[in-house]
A and B are shown apart, each in its own frame.
Chain A
Amino acid sequence: MKKIIILLISIFISSVALAKDNITIGMKLEPPHLDPTINSASAIDEVVYGNIFEGLFQITESGGVKNLLVKDYKISKDFKKYTFYIKDNVYFHNGDKLSADDIVFSISRIFNKDSINPRKSLFDNVKTIFKVDNNTVVVLLKSSSDSLIYDLARPEAVIFNHRSYKNNKNNPIGTGPFIFDSMKKGYFVKINRFEKYHSKPAKLKSAKFRFISDSLSASSAILSGEIDGFPVYQDVMTLPAFKKDRFNVVFGSTEGEVLLALNNRHKFLSNPQVRKALNYAIDKKSLISIVSPSAKPIGSHYPPHAEGYVDLSNKYPYNAGLAKKLLKQAGADNMTLEFTVPPSYKTSADVIASYLRKVGIKVKMKNVDWGTWLSQTYKKYDYDITIIAHLEPKDYGIYARKNYYFGYNNSHYQDLIKKLKTEINKNKRLQLLKKIQVTLSDDAVNVWLYQAPKIGVWNKKLSGMWKNYPVAGNILKDVYWQ
């Protein structure tokens, strides 16, 4: 009897000792450093957002926005004056108390003339920001806009300590639930729980992000248990290796529309009929079954999980015969298109090219790296067609820009976007959002292929991991071991 009790006690003790309170998360790309306000690399956000750094607001798992460093806020009727009331129990990791000065400093740093913030253009509309008292800050806008709250929730708008901000690249100090511990460039970043956190502290004691660029190595690291999870897993081919008894393979949503961008400035592609032909020519469903079986097809620039979505994915059903006919009518049946393919879209591009060849289009493939894509395709509009995911949430506004790489210019559409910015009435907003989707689809600006899914793989015993990817981030605050 005594022996049994001792045995039971020892089992109990060992199980308590074994309860894990740390985690190792795998990521494909390494962050160059840890300051999200001066570099567009999403790997930075995936480490620091909501873990080390926090903004006035935070984007939630479902894509909404919640208060984080503000306890309350007020918006004037004309959507030009925003007043923020800041929580008064917030401390930075170095012990400094969060003040209105930090907020004025951090936000002015985004829209200042010499700002190099990757989201600078989104804050063009800010006229000024000033402190009213120690817990109150006011932002004035040049013209009415409803997007400020969302933009302030972005990883690029996190709040820095105005005294320590310069060291944030390699020794980040924020207000988040985790303190930066150490970093080995190219290998890992380690963070520990911040005990003086302003809300409920994190459940994990520490977390490590490990960077594994090769997908086969990533899968073996997960299988052998060296890493506990890979929240953004890209290699669909190796998914069957993760057996259900040990792993969760979770398909969530992203804000990323994967599209075949058509250069509307192109001699033939400027003709809507040709663009429609391209829409008919590609069998989206079979493309999806090859490259991303869990993805949802789309027919406009709008995610299926968002409010106000209109399903237009079947507006141009696969019809090679019709595509050929339309091309012939437009005199484009013999055209040659150069297909610019950025990294990681090679398979998709091959499938699409074969569909385009079927309707008589000659396709020339051109593989480029990210730097080349940005400078040639995106900035110089030097391309015919290209494939890319637009990961920005609520980014239908890009179609209203006159100088954008799509080259789409429709004043009716530009008006819709202008109206949306100041429309407060919810029903009217939804109406406008519907019109936006339908207009884009009617004009067949691009060939929208599918909404990129987020595939996450992690240990079955892990709870609290985000299923969706509404923003670049791996928020670990509520993650724990069962």
Chain B
Amino acid sequence: MFIGSNIKGLMKILIKLLLSILVVMLITFLGIEQLSGDVADIIAGTEGDAQQIRNQMGLNQSVVSRFFWWVNAVAQGNFGNSLIFEVPVIDIVNERILISAPIALFAFLISISLGLLLGIISVVSNNSFWNNIIILMISFPVVWLSLLFIMIFSLSLNILPSGGIGMWKHYLMPCLALGISQAGVFARYVRVGLLEIQNSDFIHFYQVVGFSKVHVLLKYGLPAISGSLLSIIGLQIGFLFTGIVVVEHIFAMPGIGDLLYQAILKRDVFLAGYIVMKSALFIILINSIVDFIAYIITPSLRKGYNA
């Protein structure tokens, strides 16, 4: 019963996934196609022979045939060579993901743990001071925070490198800057959630029975709002992507954000397409995982499914 219905469901999901990849490819392709100038123009510059480059790269064919050529190649697992870097897109993208992934992961962990901590403290302490701290953090744009860090830790104290990659030291400031700027937003959701629930009957009940407020909020309040917090986390990951582009630029880290920007500027459709495909898949995956966890930990959702 469980397996039978799930294979059907899985097929549906798979078809949806394939369709979304196709749509992503089409949008990326058309998006770059409608820009004026192509990669051959850029390689040739002012004095080169762009037409000859087009001939050699197979760019002299019609838009439609080029698109289907690409789809066909991708379907066979061949994502092609970057038109501008002239190496397989998979190699160059994987190399850059190794740089971006740690930033994303640690910034994410910082934002969640710090956000949770601040949200709880602000509710428990019942003190506007902490709420103000949260608001202050929300209003710190990541750009400003990054520059502030560089000024303090690189230029004044000279203990951290102002940019680059290679050592753990390089990741400290970008992860903190990105993590802190996102923590404020998350803290606010935690705070609002807890504030709402602290007035509900079951919390009052536990308090009347004799448990302390902190104990009740942590043990019963937090799990109760975890479902909605999870969906916020799913959304936060999307914002994280934008933040990564910014910190990679400021800290001169050759990550995936920087690569996508370059790919679009140079009209490198295979490279841009592969990055967008991969990011889209990643976001779909994360959101499915979040949904799944929410489904497991939230009894009400589970009930709904079973009924």
Chain A residues engaging chain B, CB cutoff 8 angstroms:
30, 32-33, 38-41, 114-122, 169-170, 184-187, 210-214, 216-218, 220-221, 223-226, 368-376, 378-379
Q: Mark B75-107, 1 if CB is under 8 A from A, else 0.
A: 000000000111100001001100000000000
A214 nearest in chain B by CB position: B249
With a cutoff of 8 Å between Cβ atoms, the chain B residues found around residue A375 in the complex are 36-38, 41
A117 nearest in chain B by CB position: B48
A374 touches B250 (CB 8 A): no
Q: Which of B34-87 contact A (CB under 8 A)?
A: 35-38, 41-50, 52-53, 55-56, 84-87
Q: How far is the CA of A115 from the CA of B56 in the complex (A)?
A: 10
Q: How far is the CA of A114 from the CA of B49 in the complex (A)?
A: 9
B259 touches A369 (CB 8 A): no
Known: A216-B147, A224-B161. A40 touches B254 (CB 8 A): no
A241 nearest in chain B by CB position: B155
Q: How far is the CA of A374 from the CA of B39 in the complex (A)?
A: 11
B254 touches A186 (CB 8 A): yes
B165 touches A187 (CB 8 A): yes
Q: Which 7 A-B pairs have the closest CB atoms?
A: A40-B45, A186-B254, A375-B37, A371-B37, A118-B48, A220-B162, A212-B252
Chain B residues engaging chain A, CB cutoff 8 angstroms:
35-38, 41-50, 52-53, 55-56, 84-87, 92, 95-96, 147, 150, 154-155, 158, 161-165, 249-252, 254, 258-259, 262, 265-267
What is the distance, in angstroms, from B30's C-beta to the closest C-beta of chain A?
16
What is the distance, in angstroms, from B230's C-beta to the closest C-beta of chain A?
35
Q: How far is the CA of A90 from the CA of B100 in the complex (A)?
A: 44
Q: Which of B41, B95, B250, B265 contacts A185 (CB 8 A)?
A: B95
Q: Which of B158, B162, B249 contacts A213 (CB 8 A)?
A: B249
A374 touches B96 (CB 8 A): no
B163 touches A220 (CB 8 A): yes
A-side binding surface: helix, strand, loop or mixed?
A: loop
A379 touches B41 (CB 8 A): yes
A374 touches B252 (CB 8 A): no
Q: How far is the CA of A39 from the CA of B37 in the complex (A)?
A: 16
Q: Which of A40, A220, A376 contacts B47 (CB 8 A)?
A: A40
B48 touches A120 (CB 8 A): yes
A374 touches B56 (CB 8 A): no
Q: How far is the CA of A194 from the CA of B161 in the complex (A)?
A: 30
What is the distance, in angstroms, from B76's C-beta to the closest C-beta of chain A?
25
Which of A185, A371, A376 neighbours the largest number of chain B CB atoms within 10 Å of its CB?
Answer: A371
With a cutoff of 8 Å between Cβ atoms, the chain B residues found around residue A371 in the complex are 35-38, 41-42, 265-267
Q: Which of B42, B53, B158, B251 contacts A370 (CB 8 A)?
A: B42
A398 nearest in chain B by CB position: B46
B56 nearest in chain A by CB position: A116
A369 nearest in chain B by CB position: B265
A226 touches B254 (CB 8 A): no
B48 touches A40 (CB 8 A): yes
Q: How far is the CA of A461 from the CA of B147 in the complex (A)?
A: 28
Known: A185-B95, A211-B254, A217-B251. A376 touches B52 (CB 8 A): no
What is the distance, in angstroms, from A49's C-beta to the closest C-beta of chain B?
15
What is the distance, in angstroms, from A474's C-beta to the closest C-beta of chain B?
18
A/B interface sample: 26 pairs, CB < 8 A: A30-B254, A32-B85, A38-B43, A39-B43, A40-B46, A114-B52, A115-B49, A115-B52, A118-B43, A118-B45, A184-B95, A213-B249, A217-B150, A217-B249, A221-B252, A223-B155, A224-B161, A224-B162, A226-B163, A368-B36, A370-B37, A371-B42, A372-B37, A374-B37, A374-B42, A374-B46
Q: Which of B49, B55, B155 contacts A220 (CB 8 A)?
A: B155
With a cutoff of 8 Å between Cβ atoms, the chain A residues found around residue B265 in the complex are 369-371
